Amino acid sequence: MHSLCGAFGWTPAVHQQAKESVILPRKKAWSKEAVLETLASTLNRDSTAYPYQFQDDPYLSPRTATEFKLYSLAQDSGRSAARYFVNNHPKFFTKDFAEPHIPCLMPETVSLLLEEVSEEALKERITLRKVTAAVDMYDQLLQTGTAVSMETTHELLDLICLYCDRNPVQEGEAGAEEEKEGRRMTSRRGADVPRLSWTENNNAERIFYLLPERDTRCYSAVIRGMVKHGAYAKAFSVYSDMLNNRTPGDVHIFNALISAAPEVRDGYSERWDLISELLNHMKQQEIHPNLLTFNSVLKSLRQCGSLARSYSPQTLNEMKALGIAPSLASYDHILAVFYKSVSSGPSNSDVLQNLMTELEGQSFTCVDPDDVLFFSSAMKVCLDNKDLELGYRVQSLVEVGENWRLLGDSVQLSIYYGRFFNLLCMMEDVDVVLRWYKQMVPSLYYPNAQGMKHLLQALDTDGRLDLLPDIWTDMKTLGLYNRADLLEQLLGLMAGEEHSPELQEAFAVCALDVKSVFEEKAGLEWSASSLSHVTTLLLRASKAQQAWDMLKLFKAHNRIPSEALLNSFLSVCQRDGASERAVELVQLSAAFCLTSTSGLASRALAEFDLNQEQRLVLAGLEAAAGPPSD
């Protein structure tokens, strides 16, 4: 275990640097509110704690973002395995000694009980979400001539349209082909659920057209299903059908159609015309818009180019006039509209400023699935404009109450904190950066290679290279040692200048560590600069033997050492009085066919006291390499 310290194993050097002597006061007077203040300080988030869903043990705690996801998914799959057993063998779990009764701990029915052709059987299949079985039952009922009530038909249509006429993947089973398709699609789109597409003449449409009378709910189910699964043009044709039959619409239909509008029209003004036409229809039918209506308008406006800038503030004003409070998703769409490209004008940074002033101190709940995208977009804007003040304001909004829940899943979380950390490293003093680093890593944010690079740059800018060995320990814990470019940057920073002897010792230890990493991990290629950096560090810390081994590695990996390196090696040899090694060094440089060979040879002849044999060899090399070219 590397430098285990405290609950987490993070290095102590990023804590207080100054080692003051402890002075015990004679008498300490506490303020009247000291106890209350201490108690209040325990209410904040504990930055040294493990995430609560994991066990409190160093072996079992995640250290990187991948481990976080792996362990939480493993725990969840264990739970679903247990639920599978409970639901499939309910006879062992029916004994009920809970007083009062706890319904969620009883086994659920997953298998069908009713087999005969009846409406109850159909309702059962609908509740159990068995799409294909429900459709079969419905067809059988129609064939036998039994009338099915309107309520049940509505629910059946809702079911088919929601699941796009396919059975939802149950826990514990997975159709093998569905999974393969899903995996291909997910790798392309990065969504959690495979996007199904609406097929021609599927059961929903068939049942829909067979119905003698179609009312609002039927139209609503079919239109929303079509929009959800990508059949946009068809949705509009069903809508015009609905208008012709003079069936009243409902708010969900219009929400779906507005969000589908950019897909059926090209050209910004046509899209806006369609949206305004739909809104007018809504007004004519006296259907009240809700929050999701306006959010879909804003979302569609994002695809309307320059028109968006004029119409989206108007949309916000409409919302306020109707008394509907905008949610974070609406603000996210506004930000996307106004900060579309990096080269937006300076006046646009006011939008986020004004927004943050308005949202200061408010707590939000999630009302729209797109709410979770707001914070990462806001932080992106701050990062692009290099506005640290604004970044702090966004972070303080996240810390209000329960707003941290709106940061989204682990991917969104890492994006948000990655951007925030990037902003801090660019703009802030290194002490403040380290304070945030201590607070956020790794309880909130597992830095990836990019984040680490920013941190190293920040340390370099402010000259705090003494923290590099501890940062290297953290990098090893985070599993970031697989990136050759990151290792090269680290080594370059360490080898840049001469430092105090203790620091050089620490750097040399790190360098040897990095060398062992290169050797252990297959697929990590040594580059010339990393090899020379490691050698330089070892030389500075007077580890001559190991430096000599490094030179052999140059040959093994086909890399050429630089002239400066060989010169400094020669100086070290001179300091140590190792004349044999000096001769070997010159021979090595001759083997590499370097131009500096003759210079090295003459230096060696001049500075070392060598015996006759060595002198001959060196003279030969000096001559063979020829006079140095101008």
Partner 1 sequence: MFKIFNKPLKCSLFFSAHITNVKWSVYLLPLQSSFAWSSLLSGPIGSRSLHVTAVCCKNRAARIRVGKGEKPLTYEQAYHPHHIAHHKGWLSQHTSNLKGEDGAAERTIEDVFIRRFMFGTFHGCLADEIVIKRRGNLLIVCALMLQKLPPQKFYFLTGYSEVLLSHFYKCPVKLEIQTLQDKHVYKYI
Residue 98 interacting with partner 1 (CB under 8 A): yes
**Which is nearer to partner 1, 106 or 449 (by Cβ)?**
106
Does a cis peptide bond (omega within 30 degrees of 0) precede residue 62? no
From 247, 195, 244, select the one nearest 221 (Cα to Cα). 247
Does residue 83 interact with partner 1 by CB under 8 A? yes
Letter string b/e over residues 398-418, b meaning 16 or more CB atoms within 10 A of that residue's CB: beeeebeebbbeeeebbbbbb
* 81 counts as binding partner 1 under rule CB under 8 A: yes
Give the shortest CB-527-to-partner 1 separation in angstroms.
33
Is 157 in contact with 218 (CB distance < 8 Å)? yes
Please tell me whether residue 88 binds partner 1 under the rule CB under 8 A. no
> Is residue 59 within the footprint of partner 1 (CB under 8 A)?
yes
Residue 194 phi, psi (nearest 5): -65, 135
Q: Which of 295, 297, 319 is nearest to 367 (CA)?
A: 295
Q: Which of 18, 24, 43, 102 binds partner 1 (CB under 8 A)?
A: 102
Q: What distance in Å separates the CA atoms of residue 457 and residue 493, rounded to the nearest whole number?
A: 9
| Identity of the residue, 56 or 409, whose beta carbon is nearer to partner 1 in the bound complex | 56
Report the alpha-carbon distance of residue 266 to residue 271 in Å, rounded.
Answer: 7
| Burial of residue 230, with CB atoms counted within 10 A of its CB: 0-12 exposed, 13-18 middle, 19 or more buried | middle
The interface with partner 1 within residues 118-157 (CB under 8 A) comprises: none
CA–CA separation, 556 and 226 (whole Å): 63
Q: Pick between residue 108 and residue 120 the one whose CB is nearest to partner 1.
A: 108
Please tell me whether residue 114 binds partner 1 under the rule CB under 8 A: no
Q: 391 with 377: CB under 8 angstroms?
A: no
Question: Which of 163, 165, 141 lies closest to 153, judged by CA?
Answer: 141
Q: Which of 17, 48, 75, 362 binds partner 1 (CB under 8 A)?
A: 75
| CA distance linking residue 43 with residue 402, whole number of Å | 13
Residue 110 interacts with partner 1 (CB under 8 A)? Answer: no
- Chosen residue from 9, 107, 313, 479 binding partner 1 by CB under 8 A: 107
Going by C-alpha positions, the residue among 291, 297, 294 that lies closest to residue 260 is 297
Q: CA 618 → CA 561, 565, 568, 583, 603, distances in Å?
A: 20, 19, 18, 7, 10
User: Which of residues 90 and 305 has its CB atom nearest to partner 1 in the complex?
Assistant: 90
Given the structure tokens 């299949």, which residue do they identify? 125
Q: Which is nearer to partner 1, 20 or 57 (CB)?
A: 57
Chosen residue from 3, 67, 110, 559 binding partner 1 by CB under 8 A: 67
- Please give the Cα distance from 518 to 195 (Å, whole number): 42
> Judged by CB under 8 A, which of 7, 70, 325, 623 binds partner 1?
70
Closest CB to partner 1 among residues 39, 82: 82
Q: Which one among 2, 15, 45, 79 touches partner 1, defined by CB under 8 A?
A: 79
State in Å, rounded, how far the first CA of the chain is from the last one: 55
Tokens of 421: 């950390």
Region binding partner 1 by CB under 8 A among candidate stretches 99-107, 260-268, 594-602, 619-627: 99-107
Count of residues touching partner 1 (by CB under 8 A): 32
Per the rule left: phi > 0, alpha: psi between -120 and 50, beta: everything else, 6 is left
Q: Is residue 95 a contact residue for partner 1 (CB under 8 A)? A: yes
Per rule CB under 8 A, is residue 576 in the interface with partner 1?
no
Nearest residue (CB) to partner 1, 93 versus 404? 93
| Helix/strand/coil for 32 | coil
Alpha-carbon dihedral angle through residues 458, 461, 463, 467, given to the nearest 10 degrees: 20
Pick 39 or 105: Cβ nearer partner 1: 105
Q: Quick one: angle between helices 131-144 and 150-163, nearest 10?
A: 140
Query: Is residue 373 a contact partner of residue 335, using CB atoms and an 8 Å limit?
Result: no
Task: Give min distance, CB of 89 to partner 1, in A.
Answer: 11
- Residue 465 DSSP symbol: G
The answer to whether the beta carbons of residues 467 and 459 sit under 8 Å apart is: yes
Please state, in angstroms and rounded to a whole number, the distance separating the CA atoms of residues 216 and 262: 24
When asked if residue 106 is in the footprint of partner 1 (CB under 8 A), the reply is: yes
Q: Which stretch binds partner 1 (CB under 8 A): 59-67, 131-139, 550-558, 559-567?
A: 59-67
How far apart are alpha carbons 117 and 138 in whole angstroms?
9
Work out whether 77 is an interface residue with partner 1 (CB under 8 A): yes
| Min CB(602)–partner 1 separation in Å | 59
Q: Which residue has the tokens 């067979």?
A: 210
Binding to partner 1, residues 150-209 (CB under 8 A): none
Q: Which is nearer to partner 1, 67 or 460 (CB)?
A: 67
Q: Does 404 bind partner 1 (CB under 8 A)?
A: no
- Regarding 54 and contact with partner 1 (CB under 8 A), the answer is yes
Q: Rule CB under 8 A: is residue 479 a binding residue for partner 1?
A: no
Instruction: Give the nearest distance from C-beta 83 to partner 1 in angstroms.
Output: 6
* 528 is a contact residue toward partner 1 (CB under 8 A): no
Instruction: Give the residue from 282, 289, 293 showing the smallest Cα distance to 256.
Output: 293
57 near partner 1 (CB under 8 A): yes
367 and 291 Cβ atoms separated by less than 8 Å: yes
Question: Of the candidates 18, 92, 556, 593, which one interacts with partner 1 according to CB under 8 A?
Answer: 92
When the beta carbons of 35 and 82 are compared against partner 1, the nearer one is: 82
Q: Which stretch binds partner 1 (CB under 8 A): 102-110, 238-246, 424-432, 521-529?
A: 102-110
Select from 81-89, 146-154, 310-318, 347-355 the region that touches partner 1 (CB under 8 A). 81-89
Among 24, 97, 115, 212, the residue binding partner 1 under the rule CB under 8 A is 97
Q: What is the CA radius of gyration of the chain?
A: 35
**86 counts as binding partner 1 under rule CB under 8 A:** yes
Shortest distance, CB of residue 67 to partner 1, whole angstroms? 8
Binding residue (CB under 8 A) for partner 1 from 4, 60, 114, 233: 60
Could you tell me the two tokens for 187?
A: 């790798």
| Closer by beta carbon to partner 1, 72 or else 186 | 72
Query: Quick one: 80 or 280, whose CB is closer to partner 1?
Result: 80
For partner 1, the binding residues (CB under 8 A) are 54-57, 59-60, 62, 67, 70-72, 74-79, 81-83, 85-86, 92-93, 95-98, 102, 105-107
